[in-house]
Amino acid sequence: MPLNVARQGTTYPAISFLVEEDHVRRFASAVGDDGTFVSPTFVTAPELAAGLARVVADPDLGLDLARVVHGQQEYEWTRPVAIGERLTVRSTIESIRAKGGLELLTLRTEMRDGQDELVVVGRSTLIVRAPT
C-alpha cells in the first residue's frame, strides 16, 4: 500500500524533551564519546520521539516500518544542546515522493529552547520499499 501523499505537510504535536545528564552520559557511552560534552547526535533521541514514533503510529499515513530503511540524515546545529535544558521538538512531513519503485518520506524536525530560539534542525529521509 503506498503512502498517503495527502499527509505531506502534516505537523505532529510538539513534545517537550528534558535533556537529562544521565541520558546524555548513556548516549555518549553507547557511541564511544568520553562524556565530557553532549554528543552532537544526542539530538537523535528527541528527534525520534517527536518524529519517527509519530509517523509509525499515524493511521492515516500507512507507513510499514518493516519496509523502511534510513536513507539520509542531516542535522544543522545553531549551538550545542545543554544538559538540563528543555527542548520543544516538532516534526513535519516535509515531502512524500516516489522514486523508481521506492517511496521517500522526508521528516523535518525543529528543536527550540525556552526562548523559542532554534537549536537544531534535523532532516530524516526514510526509504520505503515496495511490498513483496
Partner 1 sequence: MTLRLEDVSAGMELPTLAKVVTREQVRSYADASGDQNPLHRDDDVARAAGFPGVIAHGMFTMAHLASCLVRWLGDPGALKRLRVQFRAPVFIGDTIVAGGVVRSVDPSTRRAVLDVWVTVERDGTTEHAIRRSEAEVELA
Contact in structure between 115 and 78 (CB atoms under 8 Å): no
CB of 108 to partner 1, least distance (A): 13
Side chain identity at residue 60, one-letter code: D
Interacting residue with partner 1 among 4, 5, 7, 40 (CB under 8 A): 40
Phi-psi category of residue 46: left, alpha or beta, with phi > 0 → left and psi -120 to 50 → alpha: alpha
Phi-psi category of residue 41: left, alpha or beta, with phi > 0 → left and psi -120 to 50 → alpha: alpha
Residue at grid coordinates 526514510: 126
Number of residues binding to partner 1, judged by CB under 8 A: 33
Told to check if 44 binds partner 1 by CB under 8 A, we report yes
Told to check if 18 binds partner 1 by CB under 8 A, we report no
Residue at grid coordinates 555518549: 28
Interacting residue with partner 1 among 7, 14, 33, 113 (CB under 8 A): 33
Side chain identity at residue 113, one-letter code: D
The pattern of x and - marking residues 71 through 100 that bind partner 1 according to CB under 8 A reads: xxxxxxx-xx--------------------
- Residues lying near partner 1 in the complex (CB under 8 A) are found at 23, 26-27, 29-33, 37-41, 44-45, 48-49, 52-53, 65-66, 69-77, 79-80, 123
